[in-house]
Amino acid sequence: MEPDQQLSILASRASEVVREVAQQIANAYGTVRAGEVEIKSRNSLVSHVDKEAELALVNGLGALLPDAGFLTEEETVEQVSARDRWIIDPLDGTTNFLHGLPFFAVSVALEREGRLVLGIVHEVSRNEQFVAWENGGAWCNGQRIRVSDCRHLEDSLLATGFPYYDFSRTAAYVEVLQAFMRETRGVRRIGSAALDMAYVACGRFDAFYEYALHPWDVAGGIVLVREAGGVVTDFSGDDQVCNSGSEILAAGPYIHPLAQKQIKLYF
């Protein structure tokens, strides 16, 4: 069987695992009490829903690739590097979830020999599943998706995320935000990097930028955007962005250089 065909089959099976976990999260929406919420660090919350979802993903995905390692946000399993490694955020947008805001998602990626080859982002509230694999294109609920072909900043709609623990570059961030407020149709902040990336992949946003991220926040979305015809780098243009995950710019091929030029004026 050809490698691309193998990935296609694996993507289909992994998407079913993710879909089951997304339903598990949907069933728990609105049921978590204040006393059941843990504070991991400043502005970083976790509930039993995150941990239970992560365990279900680890079990389901582990059955598909028994020799694979894991990199997970909640560290419910030993963090192991291997030829194949699943990168998992069981509930991206936990704060939204806990506050009753319907913007949160399951994010999963497969890294093979250091290369991201499969990505899944499942928006729980709208039951939209975005899936992509290397050389297989990007899809939303079975329909092919593409990034925006927007060519001018003044016609673009951007997404970002506010820093929530690393405030060392907030002055530069605010300068960039002000520039994009002036130069674009607007900037949105929905509170889930995984969804921001998925929305870039399907053309709802023309670009997404943020700093102080982790690999599990963006790994699945990176595959989506690239397979949908977009460009993903850090602010300096390095495409090995998931090695650190600390900063990211994802956009269509025309907007990416224009947005990067603005960002580099301040960062």
| Predicted confidence (pLDDT) per residue in 73-121, tens digit | 888 888 878 899 999 999 999 999 999 999 999 999 999 999 999 999 9
Distance CA 178, CA 244 (A): 26
| Structural domains in the chain plus CATH codes | 3-144 (3.30.540.10), 153-264 (3.40.190.80)
**Other beta carbons less than 10 A from residue 60's beta carbon:** 17
Give me the mean pLDDT over the 186-202 stretch.
98
Neighbours of 264 (CB within 10 A): 13
pLDDT tens, position by position, 116-155: 999 999 999 999 999 999 999 999 999 999 999 999 999 9
- Is the whole-model pTM more than 0.85? yes
Q: Which amino acid is at 8?
A: S
